[in-house]
Amino acid sequence: DTGVSQNPRHKITKRGQNVTFRCDPISEHNRLYWYRQTLGQGPEFLTYFQNEAQLEKSRLLSDRFSAERPKGSFSTLEIQRTEQGDSAMYLCASSSLLMGQLTEAFFGQGTRLTVV
């Protein structure tokens, strides 16, 4: 499978616990995005990487959230001290920006987080 892969697909955690999600993008893509989606809404941008550099973070990304892409390949998104409001689908997407032109972003199947 050469698409975007996210693990786990589902995560149930107790409030206050830390969780970490992983995203493996399409291998030749240099851009990786994280989004959050709640019911009835479109995906909301959280952060993105160009290669290993994290270039932009949304105001939605509180101090409890951290993302890494250490070698410019896979990425992790960690949420510390989870709150019930963190319950959502976390989506990862990848694309390429080449010579000023962006290619289409392909999404993974998401990680559904439920905080109880």
Rounded to whole angstroms, the Cα distance separating 22 from 110 reads 10
Nearer of residues 92 and 115 to another protein, judged by Cβ: 92
- Structure token digits, residue 62: 């509180």
Write out the residues near another protein by the rule CB under 8 A. Answer: 4, 6, 33, 35, 40-45, 48, 55-56, 91, 93, 95, 97, 102, 104-110, 112
Q: What whole-number distance in Å separates Cα of residue 41 and Cα of residue 79?
A: 21
Least distance in angstroms from the C-beta of 105 to another protein: 5
Give whichever of 55 and 116 is closer to another protein, judged by the CB atom.
Answer: 55
Task: Check if the beta carbon of residue 75 is closer than 8 Å to that of residue 49.
Answer: yes
